[in-house]
Chain A
Amino acid sequence: AQTVTQSQPEMSVQEAETVTLSCTYDTSESDYYLFWYKQPPSRQMILVIRQEAYKQQNATENRFSVNFQKAAKSFSLKISDSQLGDAAMYFCGMSGGATNKLIFGTGTLLAVQP
């Protein structure tokens, strides 16, 4: 069975600083995607960043980057130059195989202090 674990229920960061959200996973699939989704308060979830497991290079999207450690089954999200609009619940997740069944972690609530 696939599992995703986020051990930080809440995090806080000062505006313009950098924060790292942790995520570990477990799967028997050899081909899978990992991703981070953001859910702002009362807003819809949106994809922040995505990593294909077979790619060794870490994905980056502007201020967002990941540290993908495949052997350790770790997939952390780094947010640089944090902005007030980054405040949200962040979900780590994975999918495997030819299905859109996504397995999510329990989420990390990120607060950004001005």
Chain B
Amino acid sequence: KAGVTQTPRYLIKTRGQQVTLSCSPISGHRSVSWYQQTPGQGLQFLFEYFSETQRNKGNFPGRFSGRQFSNSRSEMNVSTLELGDSALYLCASSSWTSGRSRVTGELFFGEGSRLTVL
């Protein structure tokens, strides 16, 4: 079965612009989470969605937002881009469902969208 697909893979923007990244999870996975990866800060959690609802949010400014659609596909948006937003943005899906009291921690990652802000 197909893995997690992220588009676009690479993009270059200038300061002040906005960007939208897309993520298609593994078929049947309803939980999608986003991470930002930079050399300085490492991997940082952005947000998690399940059944179109944001379940958890990391410590990022309001310029970072996301949403999930009824088919579990997710998008994240960054407005008013800053140089520091240059990063690899990773999407991950999991088979966790609301019926489980604990998550297994097994995430399936996409290859990421590499954003460069000039």
Contact = CB atoms under 8 A, between A and B. Distances in A.
B109 A99 contact: no
B103 A46 contact: no
Interface stretch (B12-20, B66-74, B77-85, B94-102): B94-102
A46 B45 contact: no
A82 interface: no
A35 B45 CA distance: 16
Interface residues of B, number: 28
A101 B105 contact: no
A59 B81 CA distance: 42
A24 interface: no
A16 interface: no
Contacts, number: 72
A93 B104 CA distance: 12
A47 B106 contact: yes
A107 B39 CA distance: 10
A65 interface: no
Contacts of A93: 43, 105
A33 B33 contact: no
Interface of B: 3-4, 31, 33, 35, 42-43, 45, 48, 55-56, 58, 90, 92, 94, 96, 100-107, 109-112
17 contacts: A33-B104, A34-B105, A45-B90, A91-B43, A95-B103, A97-B103, A98-B103, A99-B103, A100-B103, A100-B107, A101-B45, A101-B48, A102-B35, A102-B43, A102-B45, A107-B42, A107-B43
Interface of A: 31, 33-35, 37, 43-47, 50, 91, 93-95, 97-107
